[in-house]
Protein backbone atom coordinates (compact mmCIF):
# COMPACT_ATOMS: atom_id res chain seq x y z
CA UNK A 1 0.00 0.00 0.00
CA UNK A 2 1.80 3.13 -1.25
CA UNK A 3 -0.31 5.37 0.98
CA UNK A 4 0.16 3.47 4.25
CA UNK A 5 1.24 6.27 6.57
CA UNK A 6 2.47 3.83 9.22
CA UNK A 7 5.04 2.48 6.76
CA UNK A 8 5.77 5.74 4.95
CA UNK A 9 9.09 7.57 5.26
CA UNK A 10 7.85 10.00 7.93
CA UNK A 11 6.85 7.22 10.32
CA UNK A 12 10.09 5.37 9.57
CA UNK A 13 12.17 8.50 10.29
CA UNK A 14 10.41 8.79 13.63
CA UNK A 15 11.29 5.19 14.50
CA UNK A 16 14.91 5.54 13.40
CA UNK A 17 15.60 8.87 15.12
CA UNK A 18 13.41 8.36 18.15
CA UNK A 19 11.79 11.73 17.51
CA UNK A 20 8.02 11.69 18.10
CA UNK A 21 6.00 12.15 14.93
CA UNK A 22 2.82 14.15 14.54
CA UNK A 23 1.30 14.13 11.07
CA UNK A 24 -0.48 17.43 10.58
CA UNK A 25 -0.82 17.76 6.81
CA UNK A 26 -2.81 15.64 4.37
CA UNK A 27 -1.44 13.39 1.63
CA UNK A 28 -2.33 13.83 -2.04
CA UNK A 29 -2.09 17.60 -1.92
CA UNK A 30 0.27 20.40 -2.86
CA UNK A 31 0.92 23.99 -1.90
CA UNK A 32 -2.05 24.81 -4.11
CA UNK A 33 -2.93 21.55 -5.87
CA UNK A 34 -5.39 18.89 -4.69
CA UNK A 35 -5.45 15.24 -5.79
CA UNK A 36 -7.45 12.05 -5.33
CA UNK A 37 -10.55 13.82 -4.07
CA UNK A 38 -8.52 15.84 -1.57
CA UNK A 39 -10.42 19.08 -1.01
CA UNK A 40 -7.77 20.99 0.92
CA UNK A 41 -4.34 22.16 -0.21
CA UNK A 42 -1.43 23.19 2.03
CA UNK A 43 -2.29 26.86 1.71
CA UNK A 44 -5.72 26.14 3.22
CA UNK A 45 -4.61 23.35 5.53
CA UNK A 46 -2.07 25.48 7.39
CA UNK A 47 -4.88 27.76 8.54
CA UNK A 48 -6.81 24.77 9.93
CA UNK A 49 -3.72 23.47 11.70
CA UNK A 50 -2.97 26.84 13.28
CA UNK A 51 -6.58 27.55 14.23
CA UNK A 52 -6.69 24.29 16.19
CA UNK A 53 -3.40 25.08 17.94
CA UNK A 54 -1.72 22.04 16.43
CA UNK A 55 1.71 23.67 16.21
CA UNK A 56 1.81 24.46 19.92
CA UNK A 57 3.76 21.31 20.84
CA UNK A 58 5.93 21.14 17.71
CA UNK A 59 9.61 22.15 17.57
CA UNK A 60 10.49 21.00 14.05
CA UNK A 61 8.31 20.76 10.96
CA UNK A 62 9.14 19.24 7.59
CA UNK A 63 7.16 20.34 4.56
CA UNK A 64 7.13 18.14 1.47
CA UNK A 65 5.09 19.39 -1.49
CA UNK A 66 5.73 20.16 -5.13
CA UNK A 67 5.12 17.17 -7.39
CA UNK A 68 1.33 17.51 -7.32
CA UNK A 69 1.58 21.25 -7.96
CA UNK A 70 3.84 20.54 -10.93
CA UNK A 71 1.76 17.62 -12.22
CA UNK A 72 -1.46 19.65 -11.98
CA UNK A 73 0.27 22.35 -14.04
CA UNK A 74 -0.49 24.98 -11.40
CA UNK A 75 0.91 28.42 -12.18
CA UNK A 76 4.39 28.83 -10.68
CA UNK A 77 4.15 32.56 -10.05
CA UNK A 78 7.03 34.66 -8.73
CA UNK A 79 8.51 36.19 -5.60
CA UNK A 80 6.71 39.44 -6.44
CA UNK A 81 3.26 37.83 -6.17
CA UNK A 82 1.08 38.91 -3.26
CA UNK A 83 1.29 36.47 -0.35
CA UNK A 84 -2.38 35.95 0.54
CA UNK A 85 -4.61 33.01 1.38
CA UNK A 86 -6.42 33.50 -1.93
CA UNK A 87 -3.35 33.48 -4.20
CA UNK A 88 -3.25 30.09 -5.93
CA UNK A 89 0.15 30.43 -7.60
CA UNK A 90 2.73 27.98 -6.24
CA UNK A 91 5.41 30.39 -4.98
CA UNK A 92 3.10 32.70 -2.99
CA UNK A 93 1.24 29.65 -1.65
CA UNK A 94 4.51 28.19 -0.37
CA UNK A 95 5.42 31.56 1.15
CA UNK A 96 2.01 31.81 2.78
CA UNK A 97 2.48 28.43 4.47
CA UNK A 98 5.94 29.38 5.75
CA UNK A 99 4.89 32.83 6.95
CA UNK A 100 1.80 31.53 8.74
CA UNK A 101 3.85 28.92 10.60
CA UNK A 102 6.59 31.34 11.61
CA UNK A 103 4.13 34.05 12.61
CA UNK A 104 2.42 31.51 14.87
CA UNK A 105 5.60 30.05 16.36
CA UNK A 106 8.76 32.02 15.49
CA UNK A 107 11.02 29.48 17.22
CA UNK A 108 9.92 26.50 15.13
CA UNK A 109 12.49 24.87 12.85
CA UNK A 110 11.23 24.44 9.27
CA UNK A 111 12.89 22.05 6.84
CA UNK A 112 11.65 21.95 3.26
CA UNK A 113 11.95 18.54 1.60
CA UNK A 114 12.48 19.15 -2.10
CA UNK A 115 10.31 16.91 -4.30
CA UNK A 116 11.64 13.69 -5.73
CA UNK A 117 12.01 13.48 -9.48
CA UNK A 118 8.88 12.13 -11.15
CA UNK A 119 8.81 9.62 -14.03
CA UNK A 120 5.17 10.23 -14.97
CA UNK A 121 6.20 12.64 -17.71
CA UNK A 122 9.29 12.83 -19.87
CA UNK A 123 11.84 10.11 -20.54
CA UNK A 124 15.24 8.81 -19.54
CA UNK A 125 17.12 11.03 -22.01
CA UNK A 126 15.55 14.14 -20.51
CA UNK A 127 15.77 12.87 -16.91
CA UNK A 128 11.98 12.62 -16.67
CA UNK A 129 10.34 15.45 -14.72
CA UNK A 130 13.61 17.31 -14.23
CA UNK A 131 13.67 17.95 -17.97
CA UNK A 132 9.95 17.87 -18.85
CA UNK A 133 8.29 21.27 -19.06
CA UNK A 134 4.66 21.94 -18.20
CA UNK A 135 3.05 25.00 -19.76
CA UNK A 136 2.33 26.87 -16.48
CA UNK A 137 5.28 25.98 -14.27
CA UNK A 138 8.12 24.59 -16.39
CA UNK A 139 10.15 21.56 -15.37
CA UNK A 140 10.59 20.00 -11.95
CA UNK A 141 14.02 21.64 -12.06
CA UNK A 142 12.23 24.99 -12.30
CA UNK A 143 10.15 24.01 -9.26
CA UNK A 144 13.35 23.14 -7.40
CA UNK A 145 14.99 26.47 -8.27
CA UNK A 146 11.86 28.36 -7.15
CA UNK A 147 11.68 26.46 -3.85
CA UNK A 148 15.40 27.02 -3.23
CA UNK A 149 14.88 30.75 -3.81
CA UNK A 150 12.04 30.81 -1.28
CA UNK A 151 14.12 28.91 1.29
CA UNK A 152 17.05 31.28 0.87
CA UNK A 153 14.73 34.30 1.11
CA UNK A 154 13.53 33.17 4.55
CA UNK A 155 16.81 31.61 5.63
CA UNK A 156 15.31 28.16 6.19
CA UNK A 157 16.83 24.76 5.58
CA UNK A 158 16.03 22.43 2.72
CA UNK A 159 16.99 18.87 1.86
CA UNK A 160 17.53 18.14 -1.83
CA UNK A 161 15.82 14.86 -2.66
CA UNK A 162 15.56 15.69 -6.36
CA UNK A 163 19.26 15.63 -7.24
CA UNK A 164 20.73 13.74 -4.30
CA UNK A 165 18.75 10.81 -2.96
CA UNK A 166 18.33 7.09 -3.42
CA UNK A 167 15.99 7.85 -6.36
CA UNK A 168 17.94 8.71 -9.50
CA UNK A 169 17.64 8.66 -13.28
CA UNK A 170 18.73 5.03 -13.51
CA UNK A 171 16.43 3.48 -10.90
CA UNK A 172 13.46 5.88 -10.81
CA UNK A 173 10.99 3.58 -12.57
CA UNK A 174 11.92 0.74 -10.20
CA UNK A 175 11.80 2.72 -6.96
CA UNK A 176 8.65 4.64 -7.97
CA UNK A 177 6.45 1.76 -9.22
CA UNK A 178 3.61 4.05 -10.37
CA UNK A 179 6.23 6.57 -11.57
CA UNK A 180 5.25 9.03 -8.82
CA UNK A 181 5.10 7.40 -5.37
CA UNK A 182 7.89 5.47 -3.64
CA UNK A 183 7.46 1.76 -2.98
CA UNK A 184 7.41 0.73 0.66
CA UNK A 185 11.03 -0.39 0.32
CA UNK A 186 11.90 3.01 -1.15
CA UNK A 187 10.13 4.74 1.75
CA UNK A 188 12.47 2.90 4.13
CA UNK A 189 15.55 3.82 2.09
CA UNK A 190 14.45 7.46 2.02
CA UNK A 191 13.83 7.32 5.76
CA UNK A 192 17.39 6.16 6.38
CA UNK A 193 18.73 9.04 4.29
CA UNK A 194 16.45 11.63 5.87
CA UNK A 195 17.17 10.43 9.41
CA UNK A 196 20.86 11.20 8.96
CA UNK A 197 20.16 14.60 7.42
CA UNK A 198 17.46 15.67 9.86
CA UNK A 199 19.57 14.66 12.84
CA UNK A 200 22.16 17.20 11.66
CA UNK A 201 19.74 20.05 12.39
CB 96 within 8 A of CB 54: no
What percent of the chain shows pLDDT beyond 90?
Answer: 70
CA distance 41 to 25: 9
pLDDT tens column, 61-74: 999 999 999 999 99
pLDDT tens column, 75-125: 999 999 999 999 999 999 999 999 999 999 999 999 999 999 999 999 999
113's enclosing H/E stretch is strand 109-113
pTM for this predicted structure: 0.92
Query: pLDDT at position 3, please?
Result: 47
Closest CA relative to residue 43, chosen from 34, 52, 35: 34
Query: pLDDT at position 25, please?
Result: 67
CB 17 within 8 A of CB 195: yes
What percent of the chain shows pLDDT beyond 70?
Answer: 93
Closest CA relative to residue 63, chosen from 198, 192, 179: 198
Mean predicted lDDT score pLDDT of the chain: 91
Amino acid sequence: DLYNMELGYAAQVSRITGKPLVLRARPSAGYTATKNGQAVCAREDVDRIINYGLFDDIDLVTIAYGVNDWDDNCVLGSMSDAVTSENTNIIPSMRYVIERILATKPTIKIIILMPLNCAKNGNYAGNYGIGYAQSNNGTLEDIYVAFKTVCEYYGIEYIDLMHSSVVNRQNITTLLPDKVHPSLETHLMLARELSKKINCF
